[in-house]
Structure 1
Amino acid sequence: MGMRVATFAISQQMIAAALKTQSTMADQQMQEASGVVSPDFGGLGSSTQQVLNLQVSVTRAQSYIDAATQTGSKVQVMYSAVNSIADLTTQFRSLLTAATNAASTDSASVTQSARDMLTEMASLLNTQYSGNYLFSGARTDQAPVDISSTTYAAATSPSTADASYYQGDSAVASVRVSDSQTVSYGVTADNTAFEQIMRAMNLVASNSPLTTDTLNEALDLTTNSVSALGVVQSKISNAEASIEKASASQTEYQSYAQTLGSDLTGVDVAAVTASLSTYQAQLTASYAAIAKVQSLNLASYLH
């Protein structure tokens, strides 16, 4: 009775297993070197969509952070300008108070001071940031205040509200700081607080000699403006706080999303290194076994 040694099938199975081990080792060597599961999305398997979604979220969060940062700087410049306007308004009120309480008023001096302050007021309301006017609504390329108009300059007492100096529009600037939140921060130069002090300065600047009625009306308007300016300052300050809070929230979310994405795409290099040692030993043993099987033949078996 004859005996047959069938080594071919066994040899092929062992070679296939060795090649699979070698492929696994190659992947892990790449992971060990790069620190990531795969250099492309194709190697992430079921995690691919989640990783893509996280990357989109991180990019979107960064766009909100950038918008908040840029707007925050703009709001700070705006707040500084309004603070300067408030200081100027207080100075003008002191000028009027002294003029109304004096036994005699130097009309020419008070009128000239009012003209100078009106010019300074217009300059503050024409404040720019990065080449854009801050108090002109959506017309950021247009200076919001023009006091050269002869109609505006011919103010008489008693007066009525007059914002004919305003060249902007009614749009209120805002910034989107998240998918669900938009913060309005804009103030236009025709705001009541600005209109009242502009009108008060214009009354005094346009009338000489000054009458008691003109001085009293200008003082009342200035006093009202001081209160209204406090409201404007609070609005801008609150908007700045909201923008900063939203930016911090987006930064925190971005950090979380980046960490989660790294967990999905990254590998534990130490664990991979240990696994590689195991696969190396396994592959070495496989090669030795394959060599042994392939060296078998009937003669050596019968020997």
Structure 2
Amino acid sequence: MVTRVATFTSHTLLSNLALSNASKYTELSNQAASGYKSRSYSGIANDAQQLLNLEGSLTRNDQYLNNITQVKLRLQNMESATDSMSDIATRMKTLLLQGLSNSQADDLNIDEEARQALNQVQSLLNSTLDGRFLFGGATTDTAPVSFDNTPVPDTYFAKFTGSDTATLDSLGVSTAGSLDINGQTVTYSPTDTIKDLANQINQLSPPPAIATVRQDPDSNNYRLVIEDFSGNAMSIAETGGGNLLDGLSHNPALSAETGYYQGDQKRLAARVDEEYSVNYGVRADDPAFASLIASLRIVSTTTDEDSLKMALGHINFAIENLPNVTSKIGIDVKNVETIETQHQDFAVFANNAISDIENVDVPLTLAELEQYNTALQASFLTISKSSENSLVNYLR
């Protein structure tokens, strides 16, 4: 076909339209086949920066979700271990009550039961996940619990009857005075209640020892118990002329150098958002765990009735407070799940936004492709017809 001057303009216009249709047809064909608007950023130049920002944010978001998954797995393991220790405490309480009610502690082999329970507790508190110890705070590469030198608390105690509001004169206190406990002083008088004395000891900062008033099971008998959990012998002396110490019996520590806890005082931490790290979990030195261990340690070393009754006090404290430990773990789970929901919502938004930028609606693209195919065929037909235009043909 020869393009003449007279037909040059129309031919050029038709050719350009045909090339444009062919280019668009090729583009739509590629989009329909791949599902993407373009195979390079240049093809979506206007949206490229937004796409890069969304992809970067989504990558960070996915890492936060992975961190949260790890946190939840660790908390679930902690919760399971704590529930198991609650079962151990309940079982040991039953054995202690049986032994004390029938004076059959030896026959029930309570000491051996306690030793086995101690091994179970040690294993639970030394739980690991992905090679990381869970109950040692931020120290995750060292077992947090060792019972090689577990201290039995050095203990002073006194029995009395009535109620926990009995006064010190029921312990034989006849004159006012002061008591030095591990370097700290408490004052007292015969009319003070035993419970007030215990509170006064516990309110010192830091407390020189732990004082409790406990009721013996199924009786009207109570006891004041002052315990030092440091593993050292308690330093206790009268300094003010009173005679309270005369009414206290001494149950010395049976082993005593260092405590069972080998971790630190921090909590586990994980980055779960751009500017937010969450602290979570519990440590093996939690008072509920400590009381359970103290009870088992006492029972494993002696079947003396007074000692078993003090062990029962620890067991009762553990049973009452282990659910609180579980509750703390549950609160941590709830907190990270709230953040997890936020990240999941963002992931849905970001993926939809990325899809809108990158992807095409294939059915709609196929329909548009058919339209351009028709237009392209019409362009070729028009060009073919225009090439036949001549003066001879016109005059016919």
Normalised TM-score (structure 2):
0.66
Are 2:7 and 1:18 equivalent residues in the alignment? no
The residue that corresponds to 2:267 in the other structure is 172
The residue that corresponds to 2:329 in the other structure is 236
The residue that corresponds to 2:308 in the other structure is 215
- 134-143 or 62-71, which moves further after superposition? 62-71
The correspondence for 1:204, drawn from 299, 308, 311, is: 299
The residue that corresponds to 1:160 in the other structure is 228
Q: Spell out, residue by residue over 1:183-222, the C-alpha distance to the aligned partner (whole angstroms, 9 max, x if none).
A: 433211111111122122222333x46251x233222222
The residue that corresponds to 1:80 in the other structure is 80
CA apart distance, 1:5:
4.8
Q: Residues 100 and 305 of structure 2 are in contact (CA less than 8 Å); yes or no, is this contact kept in structure 1?
A: no
CA apart distance, 1:169:
1.5
CA apart distance, 1:83:
0.6
Are 2:249 and 1:251 equivalent residues in the alignment? no
Q: Secondary structure at the match of 1:177?
A: strand
The residue that corresponds to 1:225 in the other structure is 318
Structure with more relative contact order (C-alpha pairs < 8 Å, separation 6 or more): 1
Equivalent pairs: percent with the same residue? 32
CA apart distance, 1:89:
1.4
- Quote the RMSD (CA, aligned, Å): 2.9
Residue-pair matches, total: 296
Q: Residues 161 and 196 of structure 1 are in contact (CA less than 8 Å); yes or no, is this contact kept in structure 2?
A: no
Q: Residues 107 and 210 of structure 1 are in contact (CA less than 8 Å); yes or no, is this contact kept in structure 2?
A: no
CA apart distance, 1:288:
3.2
Counterpart CA distance in 2 for 1:66 and 1:232 is 25
For structure 1, list consecutive stretches of 5 or more residues without a partner in the other structure: none
Q: Residues 32 and 273 of structure 1 are in contact (CA less than 8 Å); yes or no, is this contact kept in structure 2?
A: yes
- 238-247 or 126-135, which moves further after superposition? 238-247
- 173-182 or 82-91, which moves further after superposition? 173-182
Please show how residues 56-135 of structure 1 align to structure 2 within 5 Å: 56-103=56-103, 105-106=105-106, 109-135=109-135
Query: One-letter code of the match for 2:34?
Result: S
Q: Secondary structure at the match of 1:157?
A: strand
Point out the structure with the larger helix share. Answer: 1
The residue that corresponds to 1:48 in the other structure is 48
Point out the structure with the larger strand share. Answer: 2
The residue that corresponds to 2:187 in the other structure is none
Normalised TM-score (structure 1):
0.84
For structure 2, list consecutive stretches of 5 or more residues without a partner in the other structure: 157-226, 231-257
Query: One-letter code of the match for 2:343?
Result: Q
Q: Secondary structure at the match of 2:270?
A: strand
Please show how residues 178-193 of structure 1 align to structure 2 within 5 Å: 178-179=273-274, 182-193=277-288
